[in-house]
Amino acid sequence: MALTGILRPGHVQMRVHDLQASVEFYTNIFGLLETGRDAAGRVYLKACDERDHHSVILRQADQAGSDFYGFKVLNLATLNELEGRLRDYGVATERIPAGELLETGERVRFRAPTGHLFELYAQKTEIGDGLGYVNPAVIVDDRKGLSPVRLDHWQLHGEDLDGSRDLFVDVLGFSLAERILCEDGERDMAVWLSCSNKAHDIAFVRDARSDTSHHSAFLMESWEKLLYAADLLAKKRVPIDIGPLRHGITRGTSIYLFDPSGNRLETFCGGYNFYPDMKPYTWTWDEIGSAIFYHTRELNERFLTVVT
């Protein structure tokens, strides 16, 4: 179903402690564009190359983390088909009416075995990337901060990794691109799943702390842009978890950082092209360091322990 069913990660609603301080961070430092605010006080943002109205929703809360994760699907027929598949598989679904999120159509919401709340939708107002559709320019003017080009993927943690993996592969049509095996050499400790031609659109990690988020990732155009991001983050005194670095898994390059509320973000670039006929890469427990931090081959303890 790659590129004909679920298309891509479409939006995430994140909880922040101080809404105005977070808006300042996400617009002026991280470099997203504010596109609206709703009656509930939520703020909507998008990356510069995204054409739909938003990919990030911020709401003020006492505890950091993410409320739900949305995937865009091809059309309404696909939305109905996938809801039917979920129900046939025994997954309860809920229809969220159009307009509950700004400029967004009806959504199908369900909870995965790892505890995370997901939703599928087919319609969101297209506002464009500012370049136009006839003889477009190649440079987006007035970019601020890091200015990633799109929401790219999530890494989520929960106890029932097997259940979420099977749901996404067997029901939603994702492909298994990479995995890390547990110490027993049999169970999956982590999996990277793709609904597209990317190395991954979502990753699940086995963790007793269900319904937690490790990071939301945003794509950068190049390694040079990633290095610039590191310089800017250091200048602005933004807490960097680790990086710049290369992953063995996906072959991507990365910086992990924290927003003012402690939500971990990733700026990501690179990675290989994936197709559904490819055999997944498998990493063994003894090479987990190289799988995650390819150059140092050593794990950052904070990287394993901090989730929201």
CATH number of residue 71's parent domain: 3.10.180.10
Q: Which of 26, 69, 121, 256 is catalytic?
A: 256
User: Rg of the Cα trace of the chain?
Assistant: 18
Please, which pLDDT band fits residue 2 given cuts at 50, 70 and 90?
very low
> What per-residue confidence (pLDDT) applies to 10?
96
DSSP for 183-222, please give it: TTSSSEEEEEEESSSSS-SEEEEE-SS-SEEEEEEEE-S-
Which residues on adjacent β-strands are paired with residue 169? none
User: In the chain, how many H helices and how many E strands?
Assistant: 6, 17
Q: Are residues 93 and 160 in the same domain?
A: no
Can you tell me the distance from the alpha carbon of 34 to that of 32, in angstroms, rounded to the nearest whole number?
7
**pLDDT above 90 for 197:** no
Least confident window among 45-59, 251-265, 293-307 = 293-307
Q: Are residues 255 and 113 in the same domain?
A: no
Q: Which of 153, 157, 178, 214 is catalytic?
A: 153
Can you tell me the distance from the alpha carbon of 275 to that of 266, in angstroms, rounded to the nearest whole number?
24
Beta strand 56-60 with 43-46: parallel, antiparallel or unpaired?
A: antiparallel
Longest dimension (CA), the chain: 56
Q: Is 295 a catalytic residue?
A: no
Q: Which domain holds residue 56?
A: 6-121
pTM (2 d.p.):
0.94
Q: Are residues 106 and 155 in the same domain?
A: no
> What per-residue confidence (pLDDT) applies to 246?
87
Query: Nearest-5° angle of CA 114, CA 11, CA 253?
Result: 80
Q: Are residues 104 and 212 in the same domain?
A: no
Looking at the chain, the whole-number percentage of residues with pLDDT higher than 70 is 99
Q: Is 53 a catalytic residue?
A: no
Residue 1 lies in a domain: no
Which residues on adjacent β-strands are paired with residue 118? 69, 110
Q: Which of 53, 83, 247, 281 is catalytic?
A: 247
Q: Is 247 a catalytic residue?
A: yes
Q: Which of 215, 221, 295, 301 is catalytic?
A: 215
> In total, how many domains does the chain have?
2
Amino acid symbol at 11: H
Q: Is 215 a catalytic residue?
A: yes
Q: Are residues 30 and 68 in the same domain?
A: yes
> What per-residue confidence (pLDDT) applies to 243?
80
Q: Are residues 112 and 181 in the same domain?
A: no
Which helix (H) or strand (E) is 96 found in, with range?
Answer: strand 94-96
Q: What does the mean pLDDT of the chain come to?
A: 93
pLDDT tens figures, 161-172: 999 999 999 999
Residue 137 lies in a domain: no
Q: Which of 54, 116, 200, 214 is catalytic?
A: 200
Exposed, middle or buried, 36 (CB in 10 Å: 0-12/13-18/19+)? Answer: middle
Preceding amide of 136 cis, omega within 30: no
Contacts of residue 102, Cβ cutoff 8 Å, sequence gap at least 6: 35, 36, 38, 44, 53, 54
pLDDT tens figures, 75-114: 999 999 999 999 999 999 999 999 999 999 999 999 999 9
Q: Are residues 17 and 98 in the same domain?
A: yes
Minimal CA–CA distance to 235: which of 210, 208, 257, 214?
257
**pLDDT above 50 for 1:** no
